[in-house]
Every structure is written in C-alpha cells, then in structure tokens.
Structure 1
Amino acid sequence: MDFPDSNFLTWSTFFNNTFRKFCLMDHVDYTMLKLDDADWTQTDYCIVYWLHSSVSREILNIIIKLQDTTAYSSRMAITGLFLDNSMQQAIYAQQELHSLYQGELSITEYCGRLKRFADTLRNVDAPLAD
C-alpha cells in the first residue's frame, strides 16, 4: 500500500525510543510477551491505545481488530503496511530521486524532497550511500 508523504520513519523512531525509554520492549518483542500476566496485559492495552491513536483513521481502519490485539500485533500490522512491496517502493523512490531537479523549488523544498526519498529508501532497506 502506498501512503503519500508517509511519516513512517518518524513514527517508528519515536515509538522505538519510547519503548526503550520506558522499558517496554517486552511488549513489542514476540519472544518476551507475557499474555498471562494481568499487570503486563493492562500496560499492553495502554500501548495499543498509543499506537492506534498515533495513526490516521485510514490506517487504523485497515489494522484494527476486535479481539486478540496486542502492542506487538498492532505494531507489526502498521509496520507491514509501510514495508509491503519494499522492492517496488525502492525502485520507484530511486527513479524519482534520480529525476528530481531543483528548478523553481526553494533549497528547503528541494532538500526536503531529497530527504523524503532517502528516508523512503532507508525504510525499505535500500539506503543511499554517502
């Protein structure tokens, strides 16, 4: 799925840092889930709420489930939406990057577009070399 002007990298970085800062990695690492612990489950529902409230309604409608929702499953569903078809996304972003020229764009707009292409390529595991 293609979401124009995606902020996936920002979103992902923010949540990865938040999970580490508050020692919540056990909620997003499949090997550490504690589904039989009531306190852990309550915290997990709070994280699900954070994740669901941080995405657009369009994305939420795609990923939401009525049951068996965990922070891990929600995060994987959101991530999957942005990383599906990563090879096609990489090819498209590389073509767009190579055809980009400044023209009438301000330097800020031009650099912003370059950064978006670089971020897209990094998101799909095809980072630009320096």
Structure 2
Amino acid sequence: MSSNASSYSNPFAVDPTEIRDINVHARVPVVLDASNSTYFAWKTYFSLLFRENNLVDHVDGTVDSRAMVDDPEWAAIDATIIRWFFTTISKDLFHMVVRTGDDARAMWVKLNNLFTDNKLRRRIFLQQEFFHCHQDEQSIDDYCRRLKTLADELRDIGAKVDDDLLLSTLTAGLNEDFGNAASNHTLMLEPSFPKFVAYLRLEERRMKGVKKRVQHHALAAGTSRGAPPVPCQQPPPPVPPGYFPLPPAPPAPPAAPQQPGGGCHGNRRGGGRKQQQASGGPHLQQ
C-alpha cells in the first residue's frame, strides 16, 4: 500500500487485486436475513475473512477512513468489502442500509446494529424460541444445529447460555424415540453438548438400523405366508385358416309358470285323494 496508508493499516502488504478476486460466496456461504437465524454465522465468516486477509482495520474503527480518502489502494479495498456486504445480505436488508458515501466500517456497524439493537425485546423473543425448541420430526443434526444457533444469537446480545443450560434444553426437547438416550446423559463422564450430540448421532443411526431390520423381517414373513400364486392363464389355441366359429346358441326360454294347485303342496293334496280312492272314498263323519 502507499506510504500514506502504512501508518494506519497493519504492516503486511495487501494487494487490492487479490482482494477483489476473492470468491466471497465461498468464504461466506450464508445470506444475512432478518427473518432467519443467520446473523451469528454471517458475522463469524466475515470476521475470519477479515483476519485471513489483514482487513480488520477496515472495519474495527482503528483507522480514520477520512484520512484515507486520497489513498487509492485503501479506497479500492474498502469498496470491495462493501460489495461483499451487499452480495451476502437479503434484498430487504440491502434497501434498508444502502446509502451513498458509507465506508466499509460504517456499513459493518450498521448491519451489526440491526441485529444487536433492541436487545431486551430480541432477548425475550430468542429465549422463548430457545426454551420451546423441540425436535419433533427433525433429525438430530437439524435439531441440535437450530438449538446451538439460538444460543449463539443470545450470546451476541449478552444473554450467555452456558453448556449445562444448552445440554439440559437439548435433552428436554428430544422426541419420545430418544427417551432412553435422554436419561443416559447423566451417566456420561464430564458430559458436554458436543459429546452428547455425538452420542445422539450414533443412537439415531442405531435406531434406523433396527427399524430397517424390523421392516425387512416383516416383509419376509409376509412373503412366506403370502396368498397362493395366481395360476398362469394359457393363451387360446390358434384358429386354423378358413375356420369360422359358429354363433353362440340362443338362450333357453324361461320355464312355464306352474298351474294353481301345483308345486309341493299340490302334490301332497293329490296324494291324499289317491289314498282316499284306494280306501273306498272319504270316511263319513258319524
């Protein structure tokens, strides 16, 4: 950098061209948005990016940017940092913070203040979400990641969440499938959040294996007791050339209705008359 900048920035040389060619989306793989919990990750990625490239003095307030107006290298790097901010925040945030004349330091402070101002209200909101966070249908990784993100955001506004509180909240929010695992954390030597999360991952993997074996055995049992096989239907024999099948016979006519006195009861009465004739006629009543 030029001699004017040497007294303000760190002694390591910074090439504006190399800074401009950095793929910021590879270094900061999140988009800052007020509607989700990405602030802690976004801030952490940018803090590492500044330290890796000796750019901390552009955002930490140790250099008076007004004294660097005439330094083209400083101005070029500052503009690159502002472009990084604009391409890693949501459109709503962009329209909220964009303003002509802001340097990288002003933009950095403005973006951070959006998530750290109104600390009391934000703390109440985050604490409610943190203590009511449950696993439900989430995987262990998704659930634990969500819980840790909320704890980090609470820490950013001064509400410290220690490891014991994080661990107990994690245990209380597990679903019923992890009931035994939740009680086992007290048996660990020096339990911690990372150690218990690693244990839960193994337990989730074991449970998936058990479920898969049960389904396999049920399928195998159902196949062995299955319905009898459906017989194969043979195709009809081929029709020889010149053969014309006869039309189907007409249906038989309906049966004639029975005469009165017929049927089962009539036969019984007829049998009675024949018996009377055979015995010499009806007996007279005395």
Fold equivalence (TM over 0.5): yes
Q: TM-score, normalised by structure 1?
A: 0.86
Which residue identity is paired with 1:22? N
CA RMSD, Structure 1 to Structure 2 (Å): 1.8
Query: After superposition, where does 1:65-84 map in structure 2 within 5 Å?
Result: 65-66=99-100, 68-84=101-117
Unaligned runs of 5+ in 2: 1-32, 164-286
Match of 1:24 among 29, 51, 55: 55
The aligned counterpart of 1:3 is 34
Identify which of 48, 69, 80 aligns with 1:46: 80
1:77 Cα offset (Å): 1.0
> Which has a greater percent of helix?
1
Cα offset, 1:84, TM superposition: 1.6
C-alpha separation in 2, matches of 1:19 and 1:26: 9
Q: Does 1:108 align with 2:141?
A: yes
- Runs of 5+ in structure 1 lacking a partner? none
Task: State the identity as a percent.
Answer: 34
Change (3 A) 1:127 1:31: same
Structure-1 residue corresponding to 2:279: none
Residue equivalent to 1:55 = 89
How many correspondences in the alignment?
128
Deviation at residue 5 of structure 1 after TM alignment = 1.5
Which has the higher relative contact order, 1 or 2, with Cα contacts under 8 A spaced 6 or more apart? 1
Kindly provide the amino acid, as one letter, of the partner of residue 139 in structure 2.
S
| Mapped partners of 1:92, 1:81: distance in 2 | 15
Residue 90 of structure 1 and its aligned partner are, at CA, apart by 1.4
Give how far 1:107 is off.
2.5
The CA deviation at 1:106 is 3.3
Q: Residues of 1 paired with 2:71 and 2:95: CA distance?
A: 28
| Alpha-carbon contact 2:37-2:150 (below 8 Å) kept | no
The TM-score normalised by the length of structure 2 is 0.42
